Structure 1
Amino acid sequence: MSLVADVFGGRSQGVHPTWRRAVRAAVPADAAGVLHPLFAPEYSLVPDCLTPTAPLWETDLAAQLERLQQVSPDTLLAELEADFRGTVPRQWQGVVDRPQAFITAYAEILRAVWESYAPAWGLAGSLLARETERIGVAAVSDALEPVLAGIGPRVRLAGQTLRLPDPHPETFERAGRRVVLVPMVSGNGASVFSFDRPDAVWFGYPVPGLSILWGGRYPEPTADDALTLVLGPLRARILRDLQRPHTMGQLAAALGYAPSTVTHHCGQLEAAGLIHRTRQGQHVQAGRTARGDALVDLLSTSWS
């Protein structure tokens, strides 16, 4: 769905131009017209019966695509009525008039998208495995907040609130539901999420290292360094260097990075409660919080 939103819906997910062209070339010529109702500017809604991610715990995409082909017109029409509270918008009228034709065309498009993209997905296996390990270490080390603070360029952590991009923003309470993190292999600005399930809220984000599939370079964390695995190489170095307070200028010089880059990563660490920054005259002083101290101690001793 992230690929479809980027390529056909005008909702940028940072998909690489090469992959975007491959997807466009693989689908039927009328794909953009078929998908238009899902991405009209006034609305941002895909009925659950049309969403392959609706059965969240299943990983067999072939079975999900087969299920899409078998959606009944009555089910689709009933969901549209419920989702739009009885007044189905004009852009969905063609679907209402010919629901079976739409379901058939929609399922064909999604199957073509997947078949064109499956090779890229296969190449990402090691990235997904490493991300699973990273999230696992963060979860058992009580370090999920710093992970969430830096999980994607379009996600922002503010206290106990995650701010996610949406053209029609709403506020949702987790209300005891578990949070499911879904690393995605689509674009470096990927953002897909849902708060509709009674048992879980989930959101997708770009799998770290996605650029390596585009021929770029990605710094590999060392296997025996849990702090680097959880936070990433630069943020781990920042946190370690702040054992003693530094000005932002001193920190950037010590790390050998541009001040703007260090400031960005310090903002993520501060949002996660791992460092604090205070202005002293013309300089901004940074130092670790007690929580930052505890995380460094924990992840520097429990990984060997």
Structure 2
Amino acid sequence: MLRPLFAREYSMVPDCLTPTAPLWETDLAVQLEQLAEVSPHLLLRELEADFAGTVPRQWRSVVDRPKAFITAYTAILRAAWEAFGPAWTQAGSLLAREAERVGIAAVSNALPPVLAGLGHRVRFSEQTLYVPDPYPETFERGTRPVVLVPMVSGNGASVFSFDRPDAVWFGYPVPALSTLWTSFREPDERKDSLQLVVGTLRAEILRELVRPSTMGRLASTLSCTPATMTYHCGQLESAGLVSRERQGQHVWVRRTSRGAALVDLLTGRHG
């Protein structure tokens, strides 16, 4: 019954079936009760509008049985909340720490490394944010501010909207989300501002690069695999904080002036 939600060219959720009230204002149980009472006629009108009057065959089962679809969809959301609810209730400190991290980056002009680390499939390069999409499009934000929205979700999730005239928003998994699915731990309060902005390993890389180093030596010094080092150095390079150059059999990594300035600014250390 819910297969239309995952139809490749026509994967979407009508607005009338999207709970949008903040959980700190309206309990999700109340929102789900309201969702179950959505009028089938409203759903059909939105489908007509969303598909410009011609509902594709993948959604014809919904047109034929709209009330059954609403009931099944509400049941799925209720089951999902039963699984995610405990993590959400524990996520307050992670969300607060992420707000602090982004705030520090914003006032320190250090947002590029934050944008480059919003997800393992997200890339930021030359003022452009690239996100995975089977049907890619290009959007211009113009002069609108970008609002970052950390989410308690799957590690590969990302949602965004360019519909609002006053802002562009991008939702991404809150860092350290995996801790919510095991034994919950408070974030390490000993982390300094550099670690908060770029992450622990990338902060260690930047600190280690007081002098240029090879990728192999960095990986050995920081006890990580070459593949891990390559990935993180690539992200730092995209953010303009390091540069890489192959010389013979080795790839040398250097901290850029921008990277050195960031380390100085966020740690108060010079070198």
For normalisation by structure 2, the TM-score amounts to 0.87
After TM superposition, list the pairs within 5 Å mapping 1:17-32 onto structure 2. Answer: none
Per the alignment, in what secondary structure is the counterpart of residue 156 of structure 2?
coil
Q: Aligned partners of 1:75 and 1:175: how far apart in 2?
A: 34
Structure 1, residues 173-231: CA drift from partner, whole Å, max 9, x if none?
11222222222222222223333333332222222112222337989545361001111
Matched, 1:223 2:190: yes
Per the alignment, in what secondary structure is the counterpart of residue 205 of structure 1?
strand
What's the offset of the Cα at 1:279?
A: 1.5
Equivalent of 1:191, from 158, 170, 194? Answer: 158
Distance 1:218 1:271, change over 3 A: farther
Per the alignment, in what secondary structure is the counterpart of residue 84 of structure 2?
helix
Instruction: Say whether the 8 Å CA contact 2:243–2:253 is kept in structure 1.
Output: yes
What's the offset of the Cα at 1:247?
A: 1.5
Count residues with an aligned counterpart: 268
What's the offset of the Cα at 1:234?
A: 0.5
Per the alignment, in what secondary structure is the counterpart of residue 148 of structure 2?
strand
Q: Could you tell me which amino acid in structure 2 is paired with residue 183 of structure 1?
A: P
Q: Aligned partners of 1:59 and 1:234: how far apart in 2?
A: 37
Partner of 2:48: 81
Distance 1:129 1:46, change over 3 A: same
Structure 2: unaligned runs, 5 residues or longer: none
Instruction: Say whether the 8 Å CA contact 2:150–2:173 is kept in structure 1.
Output: yes
**Percent identity between the two aligned chains:** 67
What's the offset of the Cα at 1:57?
A: 10
Matched, 1:133 2:63: no
Distance 1:69 1:170, change over 3 A: same
Q: Aligned partners of 1:58 and 1:172: how far apart in 2?
A: 31
Matched, 1:277 2:255: no
What's the offset of the Cα at 1:48?
A: 2.2
Per the alignment, in what secondary structure is the counterpart of residue 253 of structure 2?
strand
Matched, 1:211 2:182: no
What's the offset of the Cα at 1:90?
A: 1.1
Matched, 1:159 2:115: no
Per the alignment, in what secondary structure is the counterpart of residue 264 of structure 2?
helix
Moved more, 233-242 or 72-81: 72-81
Q: Aligned partners of 2:50 and 2:24: how far apart in 1?
A: 24
Instruction: Say whether the 8 Å CA contact 1:211–1:218 is kept in structure 2.
Output: no
Instruction: Say whether the 8 Å CA contact 1:219–1:233 is kept in structure 2.
Output: no
Distance 1:56 1:170, change over 3 A: farther
Q: Aligned partners of 1:280 and 1:246: how far apart in 2?
A: 12
Partner of 1:168: 135
Partner of 1:257: 224
What's the offset of the Cα at 1:274?
A: 0.7
Per the alignment, in what secondary structure is the counterpart of residue 193 of structure 1?
strand
Q: Could you tell me which amino acid in structure 2 is paired with residue 245 of structure 1?
A: P
Q: Could you tell me which amino acid in structure 2 is paired with residue 186 of structure 1?
A: S
Partner of 1:180: 147
Q: Aligned partners of 2:102 and 2:220: how far apart in 1?
A: 31
- Which one scores higher on RCO, CA 8 angstroms, separation ≥ 6? 1
Matched, 1:201 2:156: no
Moved more, 170-179 or 140-149: 170-179
Q: Could you tell me which amino acid in structure 2 is paired with residue 60 of structure 1?
A: T
What's the offset of the Cα at 1:38?
A: 1.2
Partner of 1:7: none
Instruction: Say whether the 8 Å CA contact 1:52–1:64 is kept in structure 2.
Output: yes
